[in-house]
Structure formats: structure tokens, C-alpha cells
């Protein structure tokens, strides 16, 4: 079992639902999934010649696009979990990155890597959609 870092919280005490182990396990799982996605990737290295006899070119393109999208989501989620672990270590876990208020414990329970309170998350999503 990996050694868990010392944790501080943006709360007076650790939220009852907080599980550093859960975040560590999710991190390990995502790293494994990313490794598997890269192993199964139809693209090996920067370039790969398409074998017209074994795979139709359009199918190959779809596989490459799908693999790339999956890897992107996994990387983004992994990055978010790593940030949450750093925040837990430095005492800012549970504090909104935008407004500095406490993130609702129910939100953290549902999304342990949430960096924003619900109100700020909506604002950030709207800005990203523009």
C-alpha cells in the first residue's frame, strides 16, 4: 500500500467523507487506464502506415480519434485528482479556487476533485462555453 501524504484541510477538521485513499486509488486506476489506452492505441509512435488490407482507412481514423478523446478525458481527470491531492497536502482542499469559500461537502462527496463551489463552477463552465 502506498504511503499517504500528511493532509491538511480548508475545513477545521477533515470532512467525514474525505478519503485520501480514495483519491490515491482513483489516481492509480486512471494511470493504469491511460497506460492501457496507449497500449491499445492504433497509433504507435508519431506515424503509422495504414494497412489497407487489414483495416479500412476510415475505421482507422475513427479508432485514432476515439482513442485520442478517451486519453484526453483520462488525462484531464488525472490532472484534477493530482491537484486535489496537492491541495489536501497544503491545506486548501475543499476551498473554491475562484471565490475562496468552502466547497459544499455534498459536492465534494460526489466529486472529490471538485475545485470550485457550485456557483463558481457554473460561471467557469459558461465562460468556457463562450
pLDDT score for 43: 53
| Residue at 51 is within a domain | yes
| Residue at 1 is within a domain | no
Q: Residues 35-83: pLDDT tens digits?
A: 998 777 655 444 455 555 555 777 778 888 888 899 999 999 999 999 9
Domain that holds residue 29: 20-95
| Residue at 36 is within a domain | yes
Q: Residues 30-41: pLDDT tens digits?
A: 999 999 987 776
| Residue at 27 is within a domain | yes
Please give the tally of structural domains in the chain: 1
Q: Residues 102-122: pLDDT tens digits?
A: 999 888 888 888 999 999 999
Half-sphere exposure of 1 (CA within 13 A, CB side): 5
pLDDT score for 24: 85
Residue carrying C-alpha cell 463551489? 117
Specify the long-range contacts of residues 51-60, CB closer than 8 Å, at least 24 apart. none
Check: pTM over 0.85? Answer yes or no: no
Rounded Cα gap, residues 122 and 62, in angstroms: 32
Asked if 78 and 34 touch (Cβ cutoff 8 Å), the reply is: yes
Phi, psi of 106 (to 5 degrees): -65, -35
| Residue at 128 is within a domain | no
Phi, psi of 95 (to 5 degrees): -110, 130
| Residue at 44 is within a domain | yes
Amino acid at each position: 500500500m502506498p504511503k499517504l501524504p500528511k493532509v491538511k484541510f480548508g475545513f477545521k477538521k477533515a470532512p467525514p467523507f474525505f478519503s485520501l485513499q480514495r483519491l490515491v486509488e482513483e489516481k492509480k486506476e486512471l494511470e493504469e487506464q491511460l497506460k492501457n489506452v496507449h497500449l491499445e492505441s492504433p497509433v504507435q509512435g508519431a506515424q503509422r502506415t495504414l494497412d489497407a488490407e487489414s483495416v479500412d482507412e476510415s475505421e482507422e481514423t475513427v479508432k485514432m480519434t476515439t482513442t485520442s478523446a478517451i486519453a484526453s478525458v483520462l488525462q484531464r481527470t488525472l490532472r484534477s485528482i493530482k491537484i486535489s491531492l496537492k491541495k489536501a497536502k497544503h491545506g486548501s482542499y475543499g476551498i473554491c479556487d475562484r471565490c475562496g469559500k468552502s466547497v459544499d461537502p455534498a459536492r465534494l462527496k460526489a466529486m472529490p476533485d471538485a475545485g470550485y463551489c457550485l456557483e463558481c463552477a457554473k460561471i467557469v463552465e459558461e465562460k468556457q462555453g463562450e
